[in-house]
Structure formats: C-alpha cells, structure tokens
Amino acid sequence: MKRAITIAWLGFLVSVPLWLTNLYVLHVLIMTGIFIIAAMSLNLLLGYTGQLSLGHVAFFGLGAYTSSLVSLGFSVHLLPAWEVTLDPKPVWLGMLAGMALAGACGWAIGRLSFKVRGAYFVIVTISFAEVIRLVALNWVELTQGPMALNNIPYLRLGIPDLIEVSFLRKPANYYLVLAVAVVCYILIRRLVSSRAGRAMIALRENEPLAASVGVDVTRCLVLATVVSAAMAGAAGALYAHYVRIVDPDVFLFIYTVTMVIMVVTGGKGTLAGPVVGGCIFGLLPEVLRSFEIGPEVQWVTYGALMVLVVYFLPEGIVPALRGWWRRRSGEPVEAEQPRPAAEAAR
C-alpha cells in the first residue's frame, strides 16, 4: 500500500514535463525542487539534531560559487607574486567540488558546535553566512563581485562524441533536480532510521542522557552538519548550472528563512515535512499571483497563511495529518496521548 503510493507519486512527478506545456510553471517547479533539497538538508540539522542553523544559505551559495568557478576556471593573485590559476573543468567535477567544499565548511561548523549550542550556534551560523557573502561581494578578482558570474556552463553527462545528455533545457533540468532530490531523500531516510539518526534524535531530546548511554555528541553533530552542508551545496550547484548566473544575492538571509519556513511548516524531524512545506511555500507565491490581486495582497496572504499554519499546527503539517489519520483509523496509541504533555516535556 505504502509502496504503491510512493510509486504512483514518483510516476506523477516523472510525467510532469510530458504534459506541462507552460515552461514558466516548469521553471517554478525546478526552483521549488532545488529549495526542497536545501530544506531537506536543513531538516537533518534542525529537525533531527535540534540545532538551528540560520546560515544554511552559506552552504547553498558555497556550492553554487565553487561549482561555477571550477567549471568556468579562474585566475587570482593570492599574493602579489603568487597567482593561482585553474583551467575550466567539467561541470560534474565542479558540482562535486562544490559539495566537498560545502561539506568541509559544515565539518568546521560542526566542530565549533562542540562549544557553542543553542543561541550561540545560531549566531555562529549567521555570522558564517554573512562573512561568506562579504567575501563573494568583495573578492572581485575571483567572484566578479556584484557583476556576478555569467555564462556558467550547463551540465553535460556521458561520453563525449558518443552519447551525451545536456542539461540545458528545462525538462532535462527538471529530471536532474528530481533525481537529486530522490537520492537526498533516500540518503536522509537511511541515515535517520539508523544508529546515526537515533543518536541525533537522542541528542535533540535529551543531551545529558544521550551522552550517558555513550553517544558522542560532537561526532554526531559533525556527521549531521557535514551531510547537511554537502546536500545544501549540491542544491546550490544545481541552481548555478540551471540559472547560469550567480551573484552574491544567493547568500541573502531571506533564502535561509524560506528554508526554515519550509521545514517548520511542513514538520521538522519528519521525512516528508520539508517536501510538503517546500511544495506549499515554494508554489504559493505563484498560485497567489494567478488570482490577479495586488502584489501587496499576495504577500500579506502568504504571511497570514504562514502564521495560521504555525499557530494551528505547531508541530507542522505532516505530523498533524498523521495524527488526524491515526485518530480516524482509531489507532489507540496517540489518541490517548494528550498532546500538551509531550510538548511540555520537550
């Protein structure tokens, strides 16, 4: 039953470019997909380990810039007499480099969190994102600063001169994003249902108790941040080679906020949460636009819906739906369970 629903869902998603003729809508879907990948990566950190990273867009932007620069090639003077030059490399290599660099920065942030938790962790991540943004803005020789990196090559896969797929057009990019999203989803699912994921949940729920049964808190956080950052980096790389222009605005705080909204409204700490939240709050602006109301009304409606979701479904949409489904089918486990008790304990 569950498997059938999954297959039906995937079949539907795969079929979209076949019947959707409006390329603009397809573009919106691709961007939403990229953000869903980023939101899923944030969920691993925020939902499972309970650490709020408000600089998550830094990993996204690092992936975008690194991948672009590796595939464009660059030449910078680190010291007056020392020039570093990199010839253009294939795009897939750039994407891997982007993931690797984002993951490495995630490692550093994870190590830091050994000392700083809670509010301090939030501040560290915000500062990290801001520093990276300032570097991207001011290191003109490398990043072109506000002039942006242009003409970023698109991804090609296959054997040259024999068989090759180019990810230039929208349907191809749609499938690429879908494939990466599915892979990320599966990876996160495996991770959280294993020993590593249980350690993360233990840490979120009760850190002293987790340590008392042998959970290495630092290691567990580092693993989560590395995987999370690398996935956000992958989303950034997908973005760069799809939009094919990257400027320092990819580091804007609003993108982090968007990811947090997707995770929190969808249901943090659930696998489907960021996907559902991402679909709703990624597509909502476009849906509202189609009603031909003024832009201010659109955004007020967007904000109001968000407040309503958070107010009435504090756990998120997915847990709320799950609870409703359980009550309907009469499973006693949660029906008897008073909600406030579980929350107060948290």
Q: How far is the CB of 307 from another protein (least distance, A)?
A: 25
Check residue 138 for interaction with another protein (CB under 8 A): no
Whether the Cβ atoms of residue 175 and residue 16 lie closer than 8 Å to each other:
no
Check residue 333 for interaction with another protein (CB under 8 A): yes
Q: How far is the CB of 338 from another protein (least distance, A)?
A: 8
Q: Which residues contact 191 (CB under 8 A, 6 or more apart)?
A: 44, 197, 227
With CB under 8 A as the contact rule, the residue among 127, 150, 166, 337 that binds another protein is 337
Counting residues that bind another protein (by CB under 8 A) gives 33
Nearer to another protein, 6 or 206 (CB): 206
Q: Which residues contact 48 (CB under 8 A, 6 or more apart)?
A: 192, 197, 200, 201, 204, 224, 269
Terminal-to-terminal C-alpha distance of the chain = 33
With CB under 8 A as the contact rule, the residue among 76, 187, 283, 305 that binds another protein is 187
Q: How far is the CB of 115 from another protein (least distance, A)?
A: 13
Q: How far is the CB of 21 from another protein (least distance, A)?
A: 38
Nearer to another protein, 249 or 334 (CB): 334
Using the rule CB under 8 A, give the single segment among 102-110, 161-169, 171-179, 201-209 that binds another protein: 201-209
Nearer to another protein, 188 or 288 (CB): 188
**Gap between the Cα atoms of 229 and 246, Å rounded:** 19
Check residue 196 for interaction with another protein (CB under 8 A): yes
Check residue 336 for interaction with another protein (CB under 8 A): yes
Site of tokens 């580092």: 222
> Which structure tokens are listed for 200?
């993360």
Q: Which residues contact 323 (CB under 8 A, 6 or more apart)?
A: 315, 334
Check residue 202 for interaction with another protein (CB under 8 A): yes
Task: Give me the amino acid identity at 20.
Answer: L
**Gap between the Cα atoms of 307 and 301, Å rounded:** 10
**What are the backbone angles phi and psi of residue 131, rounded to the nearest 5°?**
-65, -45
Site for another protein in 143-172 (CB under 8 A): none
Nearer to another protein, 26 or 200 (CB): 200
Nearer to another protein, 149 or 210 (CB): 210
Nearer to another protein, 50 or 278 (CB): 50
Site for another protein in 207-246 (CB under 8 A): 208-217, 223
Whether the Cβ atoms of residue 161 and residue 98 lie closer than 8 Å to each other:
no
Check residue 330 for interaction with another protein (CB under 8 A): no
Q: Which residues contact 259 (CB under 8 A, 6 or more apart)?
A: 35, 38, 39, 42, 56, 57
- Greatest alpha-carbon pair distance for the chain in Å reads 74
Check residue 25 for interaction with another protein (CB under 8 A): no
With CB under 8 A as the contact rule, the residue among 199, 231, 238, 246 that binds another protein is 199
Whether the Cβ atoms of residue 67 and residue 97 lie closer than 8 Å to each other:
yes
DSSP bridge pairs for 149: 246
Q: How far is the CB of 209 from another protein (least distance, A)?
A: 5
Whether the Cβ atoms of residue 281 and residue 260 lie closer than 8 Å to each other:
no
Binding site for another protein (CB under 8 A): 187, 190-191, 193-196, 198-199, 201-202, 205-206, 208-217, 223, 333-334, 336-338, 341-342, 345-346
